[in-house]
Amino acid sequence: MQTSKAGSTTNQLLTALPCKDRKRLLAHCEPIDLIFAEVLCRPGDLITHVYFPTGSFISLVTSIDSSNLEIGMVGNEGLFGITLMLEVDIAPFHAVVQGAGPALRITAEAFLHELEQSPALQKELKRYLCALMRQLAQTAACSQFHRVEARLARSLLMIHDRAHSNTFHVTHVGLAYMLGVRRVGITRAANSLQQQKLISYRRGNVRIIDRPGLEAVACSCYRADNEIYERMMRCRR
């Protein structure tokens, strides 16, 4: 990973901290660029760093019998390494960069030290952990009960929220990996979304054409995710 000049882009968790706590934490952070498809951790790995995405996003993926399923996504609304606040320093999931871009990184040791010093940081992370747990549970139910097209629409909306652009790069293979379905299923669902003029898709480059239409096609899990995050944000006030 290379250093990034864009490290000043905001992360919502950091922005929500009191100025004193934020400055103290940022003093231990380094700006970096996360690279597409980079594996930050594998299940069972020691968590050595905590990542606060600013213009990037990370997929949390679990594997069963050689099959994969994305169960969570971390963008500039959160962080990777949340289990450290539970005194668990072993990664429970694959953490894979799905959206390249800037992030802030802090060592696990420095993060734990700042966590001890800052009740405000503890409070923010407890709220975020609650929201993330809800997202994990929602995704598990979604993968069982909702059809591929609706799940794909939800995933594209989640990426759109975190990519901060109407255009982003994601391959059929990557989407199949994230949704835990065969590539042919992704192709069929993506073609349907294109025919409805909701997205354009060419050589891994996705452009959102009609976001309201895509939201209408997405399963209810997308709205449920947003509602829990909205409640988390309101709790800060």
Per DSSP, the residues of 183-212 read HHHHHHHHHHHHHTTSEEEETTEEEES-HH
Per residue in 207-225, pLDDT tens?
A: 999 999 999 999 999 998 8
Phi/psi-derived region of residue 56, left when phi > 0, alpha when psi is between -120 and 50, beta in every other case: beta
| Domain at 147-218: CATH code | 1.10.10.10
Per residue in 155-182, pLDDT tens?
A: 999 999 998 889 998 888 888 878 888 8
Fold of 12-142: Jelly Rolls (2.60.120)
Q: For residues 22 and 202, give the distance between their C-alpha atoms in angstroms, rounded to a whole number.
A: 41
State the chain's mean pLDDT as an integer. 89
Check the CA dihedral 154-156-157-162 and report its sign: positive
Q: For residues 156 and 138, give the distance between their C-alpha atoms in angstroms, rounded to a whole number.
A: 16
In the chain, ranges of CATH 1.10.10.10 domains: 147-218
In the chain, ranges of CATH 2.60.120.10 domains: 12-142
Q: Model's pTM, two decimal places? A: 0.87
pLDDT by 10s per residue, the chain, length 237:
333 333 345 899 999 999 999 999 999 999 999 998 899 999 999 999 999 999 999 999 988 777 788 888 999 999 999 999 999 999 999 999 999 999 999 999 999 999 999 999 999 999 999 889 888 888 888 888 899 999 999 999 999 999 888 999 888 888 887 888 888 999 999 999 999 999 998 888 999 999 999 999 999 999 988 887 787 666 554
* Number of residues assigned to the chain: 237
**Which residue shows structure tokens 């800052």?**
118
Check the CA dihedral 184-189-192-193 and report its sign: negative
